Amino acid sequence: MEDGIVAKVLLPLALGIIMLGLGLTLTLDDFKRVARVPKAVFVGLVCQMLILPAACLGIAHLYSLSPELAVGLMLLAASPGGATANLFSHLAHGDVALNITLTAVNSLLSLVTLPFIVNFSLEHFMGEGKAIPLQFAKVIQVFAIVLIPVSIGMLLRAKRTTFARRMERPVRILSAALLASIVLVAVIRQFDELAASFAAVGLAALTFNLVSMGIGYGVPKIVRLPEPQAIAIGMEIGIHNGTLAIALALSPQILNNPTMSIPAAIYSLIMFFTAAGFGWLVSRKARAEFAAASNTPVA
């Protein structure tokens, strides 16, 4: 009975609240900004939508992950950047406005790209016929859980700006508390499997994390984007929305497979340490560029 309540009620509720919270932080200006920095947005999207899934596919094969763990890692690659990327980008002197724009655009595009990547992964790793049929009812479920709350949040932000800003923090705390509770229950119930899987997927998750940040920072530098934009894309690509990936893996409406949530759980622990290290390495360079532009000494 408790399992049914968690799976059928709390998980969709948590996902809906997360998407509502995201909508409360978004405005139409976040999307209009694409026209002001098209090159940076295009580079970020190419890294996120094309290069990253291909790299993740190679890493899954390199480490010979089991089919379910491989799909879980690909699910993580398909998930958009998390709000934490904005914080780390700010601390590392990145272009936070670009982070917000990429999060907004990625979140909308993932409605199409995420099912496609997950279905490809299911067929590729688990065999023909394992893909989730994109039935009309399934599309309606995803639409209801994801897009409607985002739209409500954006509408509130546009029409009731003061109220929306007041609600950002409570909604973020509530969504974090709900997800933390759900993830904690999942970890407790599958602790043995999680511990056993750490040896199997831990190194793959670390490699994927480092490769993600390397792609997100290196590709913008190759095409000569400014340092703050390269930092922002590096954080956006390297810090995935692990909690969303976990919820999608556990949700009975989508994947309903706890094993597929393990790569995201491990990745979410690793990325805080690697992001902090990455931020420390690049922040001094960003400060140096800013100091040079403003003719002030580097602290």
Asked whether the beta carbons of 22 and 150 are under 8 A apart, the reply is: yes
Size of the chain, expressed as the number of residues it contains:
299
46-55, 254-263, 267-276, 283-292: range with highest mean pLDDT? 46-55
Domain ranges of the chain: 2-286
Average pLDDT over residues 151-165: 79
pLDDT at 43: 93
Judge contact between 117 and 78, C-beta under 8 A: yes
Phi/psi of residue 46, each to 5°?
-60, -45
Q: Picking from 35-39, 122-126, 142-146, 242-246, which range would have the lowest pLDDT averaged per residue?
A: 142-146
The answer for residues whose C-beta is within 8 angstroms of residue 5's C-beta and 6 or more apart is none
Q: Mean per-residue pLDDT for 14-31?
A: 69
Whether pTM exceeds 0.95: no
Taking the CA atoms of 107, 18, 140 and 114 in sequence, report the sign of the dihedral they define: positive
The architecture that CATH gives domain 2-286 is Up-down Bundle (1.20)
Tokens of 130: 């394992």
pLDDT score recorded for residue 15: 64
pLDDT tens digits, 195-227: 777 778 889 999 999 999 999 999 999 999 988
User: d(Cα 181, Cα 179) in Å, to the nearest integer?
Assistant: 5
Angstrom distance (rounded) from CA 6 to CA 183: 11
Confidence (pLDDT) at 73: 93
Residue of 1 and 50 predicted with greater confidence: 50
Q: How far apart are CA 18 and CA 68, in angstroms?
A: 25
Is 81 strand, coil or helix?
A: strand
